[in-house]
Amino acid sequence: MADLFDGKRNISLDTSYNMDYEAMNAANLGIANIFFLALIIGKRNNTKIAVNDHRGKEFRPSYFTPLQKDLIYGLVLNLTGSIPVDDKEITNIYDELIAYANGGIQWMRNNVFFDCLNDNGAINIEPQEIIVRLNQMIYDELNPQQSPF
């Protein structure tokens, strides 16, 4: 049985979002954590963008925390109805997860960093401001009834 989080496996992301991952990684978030955040945002907003290529940022799924692994397993079960048993199924699942992560990055571009994009449409902002805006986004998501003034 293949392991979804095998330490020998590399996850290669879409190059379309390299600059976004680099900008957020400059805030010491880590590629796996950025991917997880983008995945959750993409899934929550039902936003998927198909993978163009797999030549982008790479990380090992073994970098996920135990809680992240559990949540991803739950998401995989929700998407497929079963646990993957071979490498081909795992590759297809990661393509689906990367599509949701792409959607999450695009959602963040449109809703969190809309005024801080470079000419290519990628996030271009100081690392400390990234943390502030992500915290504000999480707060706003948790408290939607709050008045804007």
The domain spans of the chain are: 11-142
CA nearest to 76, candidates 51, 99, 101, 94: 94
Strand 58-59 to strand 11-12: parallel, antiparallel, or no bridges (unpaired)?
antiparallel
pLDDT for 83 beyond 60? yes
Q: What is the pLDDT of residue 2?
A: 62
pLDDT for 146 beyond 70? no
CA nearest to 78, candidates 58, 93, 65, 59: 93
The average pLDDT across 54-64 equals 92
Residue appearing with tokens 């809680």:
67
- Other Cβ atoms closer than 10 A to 142: 8
Using pLDDT thresholds of 50, 70 and 90, give the confidence band for residue 93: very high
Q: Report percent pLDDT > 90 for the chain.
A: 74
Q: Which residues contact 44 (CB under 8 A, 6 or more apart)?
A: none
Q: Report percent pLDDT > 70 for the chain.
A: 96
The average pLDDT across 22-38 equals 96
CA dist., res. 7 & res. 92, Å (int): 18
The average pLDDT across 117-131 equals 94
The average pLDDT across 70-86 equals 89
pLDDT for 1 beyond 80? no
Residue appearing with tokens 């989080």:
5
Greater confidence, 82 or 133?
A: 133
